[in-house]
Amino acid sequence: MITNALTIDVEDYFQVSAFAAHIDRADWDKCECRVVRNIDRILGMLDEQGVRATFFTLGWIAERYPEMVRTIVAGGHELASHGYGHQRVSDLDAGQFLADIIHAKSILEDIGGTQVIGYRAPSFSIGASNRDWAFDSLAKAGYRYSSSVYPVKHDHYGMPDAPRFAHEAHPSLIEVPPTTVRAFERNWPASGGGYFRLMPYELSRRLIARVNKTDRQAAVFYFHPWELDKEQPRIPGISAKTRFRHYVNIHRMENRLKCLLKDFQWGRMDQIFLSP
């Protein structure tokens, strides 16, 4: 049986890129932070099924909740980087990006007491316009893999012509994209909390099973802690489109995840894609 990669982007609800115009970054410390309780729920679910996963964690979160980070590591999970403050790579220049990923890596390693070799860009914001210097920066900073390019067409991210599976992005760095399926001459998302919440569970299950059976590849699935949190504060003033994307079927997420954990074999990114 193929082992798939289970990944969690450790950020809170108020740090979502779609809310950036409504919640000032300077006000983050004033927001009710709910990430610790949501991570505790996730860790409990993983322990119940004996699953180990990769947690792409913001440096901003790690600084404020170091015990949560240490609990993740103590549970046998991989600690990886999501950058420091959830700034999209497309909003930074090469120097700013390099500083951000070095800073985040240092914080995570100091708190977690473990080497951090994986990175995921906020909002999958590595694309055609910045991938060359972004991958070069990641290699310089000591990362060994990235999971930052989603090979789909989307209004906020995506590079539809990028490879669908793990590949060398730099002589010392591989890119491991979230999972897609190929149909009707285009790539369709088969991974990610928003898609997973929107689609019927059976469809998500079939798409992942198809990648395992037909492509003979490990799937890379991701979600966010806030996607299990139906009591999270509602953000006023957001568009109907953003509201739908963020809140659709949040109340169904936990049960769907429990099914997903039972229906497939899951593991850490580093052990699946970097092990000899």
The b-or-e profile of 77-111 (16+ CB within 10 A means b, else e) is: bbbbbbbbbbbbbbebeeeebbebbbbbbebbbeb
pLDDT at 185: 85
Q: Output the CA angle 192-198-203, nearest 5 degrees.
A: 80
Residue 41 to residue 258: CA distance in whole angstroms: 11
CA 89/CA 225 separation, integer angstroms: 22
Q: What percent of the chain has pLDDT over 90?
A: 88
Q: Select from 125, 260, 269, 145 the least CA-distant residue to 193.
A: 260
Q: pLDDT at position 192, please?
A: 84
- Tell the residue number behind the tokens 């890119």, with chain if given: 175
How large is the angle between the packed helices 35-49 and 66-74, nearest 10 degrees? 10
Give the pLDDT confidence score for residue 141 in this predicted structure: 98
H-helix segments, the chain? 35-49, 59-64, 66-74, 94-112, 131-140, 193-198, 201-210, 240-247, 250-263, 269-273
Looking at residue 155, what is its pLDDT?
62
Mutual orientation of helices 66-74 and 94-112 as an angle, nearest 10°?
70
For residue 231, give the amino acid letter: E
174's enclosing H/E stretch is strand 173-175
Integer Cα distance of 73 and 70 in angstroms: 5
- As a 3-state breakdown, the chain gives helix, strand, coil percent values, each rounded to 5, of 45, 15, 40
Closest among 119, 232, 246, 153 to 193, alpha carbons compared: 246
What's the pLDDT score for residue 156? 65
Q: What pLDDT shows up at residue 191?
A: 84
* Residue pair 256/263 in contact by the 8 Å Cβ criterion: no
Q: Where are the domains of the chain?
A: 3-273
Domain 3-273 grouped into CATH 3.50.50.60: no
| pLDDT per position as a tens digit, 159-193 | 888 899 999 999 999 999 999 999 888 998 898 87
pTM value is 0.96
pLDDT in tens, 103-142: 999 999 999 999 999 999 999 999 999 999 999 999 999 9
Q: What is the largest CA-CA distance in the chain?
A: 50
pLDDT-flagged residues of the chain (< 50): none
